[in-house]
Amino acid sequence: MKKNPNPIDTFVGSRVRMRRLMVGMSQEKLADGLGITFQQVQKYEKGTNRIGASRLQAIADILGVHPSFFFQQDENAQSRETAADVHESHEISSFVASKEGIALNRAFLKIADPVLRKKIIALVAAMAQSGETEQTAVPSAARHAEPLHG
């Protein structure tokens, strides 16, 4: 019978993956630094295998963070979160750890002008909201649409 990974191991593993991607390091390079195989790194990142304390310290050193980085989630805040908050938090973490999320964050961090950053956030928020309203409004809008030419 296959045992499901412990949620804490899965969370810590996802934080290892996120940080590794943030610094642009491959699983192979992290594995080399730890003296293990990249398959072992994959198992750590999925939460399939637990990361021991000394190994977690070594991972933190290689990735340039304090070991507490891999556990950062306020327990008091978590108890106040609704299921929707937890789901949204997981979606955000998954996106930030993705290649697109990291690329977007890196590019955004290169923008020094805080006013321009706020404008970009407002633009993206407007585009997201527009996409939501278009999806719900398309059927009725399509019935009343007039030709653009002729």
What's the rounded Cα separation, in Å, for the pair 64 and 16?
11
Residue 62 predicted with pLDDT over 60: yes
What's the rounded Cα separation, in Å, for the pair 66 and 9?
17
CB atoms within 10 A of CB 64: 11
What's the rounded Cα separation, in Å, for the pair 48 and 115?
44
**pTM for the model:** 0.54
Is 142 buried (19+), middle (13-18) or exposed (0-12) by CB count in 10 A? exposed
Q: Which CATH number fits domain 1-72: 1.10.1040.10, 3.90.870.10, 2.40.50.140, 1.10.260.40?
A: 1.10.260.40
All structural domains of the chain with their residue ranges: 1-72, 83-127
pLDDT tens digits along 69-116: 998 864 444 444 456 655 665 677 777 778 888 888 888 889 888 899
